[in-house]
């Protein structure tokens, strides 16, 4: 039984309008309220090949660096960053930042808040920011602005996925894994209401009560 009913946060509200009512459960977890299946969009094998190619480009761009600070945007980038750093043959340090694009839990907002900042300093460092999906672009733009203000030596960005048709602000990652259409996707670290991050592939959510 639902004790609280809330309109979902921005990405779900935006991409899945009918899905926006969620039941907030006693332990704080949120659950989707409609049945769905996941259709594979990008296989694990295709992702692995692309990650390898991207790592080569990154290696070439940062060749000679004394240290590359690889900054993952939590939480969706955690699988991507884990695979990516293992393919980058450079001195690497890993750090994380967590941003929330949601002003609050009941209405859409373009406000980006930093929930967890980096542990280390990036002044005069080479930095690679790793994002899971660039959608409207607000999150990446905000994080890049914030980190550039700390005057790194070089700062570049990589996104596993890009939904160019959704863009609202002028930002483009330096490297993109795959451009995808305006679909809600999960897997390879990316969630739907905290579910499905552990899928080895990327799939799109399809609601079965529509069919």
For ligand IMP, which is the closer residue by CB, 74 or 153?
74
Note whether 162 binds ligand IMP by CB under 6 A: no
For ligand IMP, which is the closer residue by CB, 126 or 131?
131
Rounded to the nearest whole angstrom, what is the least distance from the CB of residue 158 to ligand IMP in the complex? 13
Q: What is the DSSP string of 97-112?
A: EEEE--SSSSS-----
For ligand IMP, which is the closer residue by CB, 62 or 188?
188
Note whether 11 binds ligand IMP by CB under 6 A: yes
Nearest to 126 by CA among 189, 174, 194: 174
* CA torsion through residues 162, 165, 169, 174, sign: positive
Q: With contacts defined by CB under 6 A, name the span among 55-63, 64-72, 87-95, 126-134 that binds ligand IMP.
A: 126-134
User: Could you tell me the two tokens for 65?
Assistant: 């660096």
Q: Provide the residue count of the chain.
A: 211
Rounded Cα distance, 116 and 75, in Å: 11
Rounded Cα distance, 210 and 58, in Å: 43
For ligand IMP, which is the closer residue by CB, 65 or 105?
105
Binding to ligand IMP (CB under 6 A) within 68-107 occurs at 76, 101
135 counts as catalytic: yes
Give per-residue burial for 162-189: e unless 16+ CB within 10 Å, then b: bbeebeeeebebebbbeebeeebbbbbb
Binding to ligand IMP (CB under 6 A) within 128-157 occurs at 131-139
Rounded to the nearest whole angstrom, what is the least distance from the CB of residue 29 to ligand IMP in the complex? 17
For helices 44-62 and 78-87, give the axis angle rounded to 10 degrees.
60
Which residue among 122, 128, 144, 185 contacts ligand IMP (CB under 6 A)?
A: 185
User: What residues have CB less than 8 Å from 99, skipping those under 6 apart?
Assistant: 73, 112, 113, 114, 115, 139, 142, 143
For ligand IMP, which is the closer residue by CB, 38 or 155?
38
Note whether 159 binds ligand IMP by CB under 6 A: no
Catalogue the active-site residues.
135
Residue numbers at the binding site for ligand IMP (CB under 6 A): 11, 76, 101, 131-139, 184-185, 190
């Amino acid at each position: 039984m639902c004790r609280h009913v809330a309109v979902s946060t921005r990405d779900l509200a935006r991409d899945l309008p009918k899905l926006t009512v969620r039941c907030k459960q006693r332990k704080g977890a949120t659950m989707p309220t409609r049945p769905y299946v996941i259709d594979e969009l990008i296989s694990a094998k295709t992702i692995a090949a692309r990650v390898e190619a991207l790592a080569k480009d990154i290696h070439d761009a940062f060749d000679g660096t004394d240290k590359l600070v690889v900054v993952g945007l939590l939480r969706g980038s955690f699988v991507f960053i884990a695979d990516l750093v293992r393919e980058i043959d450079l001195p690497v340090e890993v750090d994380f930042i967590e941003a929330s694009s949601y002003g609050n839990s009941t209405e859409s907002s373009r406000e980006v808040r930093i929930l967890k900042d980096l542990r280390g300093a990036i002044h005069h460092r080479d930095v690679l920011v790793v994002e899971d999906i660039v959608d409207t672009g607000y999150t990446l733009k905000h994080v890049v602005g914030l980190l550039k203000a700390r005057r790194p030596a070089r700062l570049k960005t990589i996104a596993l996925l890009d939904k160019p048709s959704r863009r609202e602000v002028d930002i483009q990652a330096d490297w993109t894994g795959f451009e995808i259409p305006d679909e809600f996707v999960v897997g390879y670290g990316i969630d739907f209401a905290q579910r499905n991050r552990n899928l080895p592939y990327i799939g799109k959510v399809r609601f079965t009560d529509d069919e």
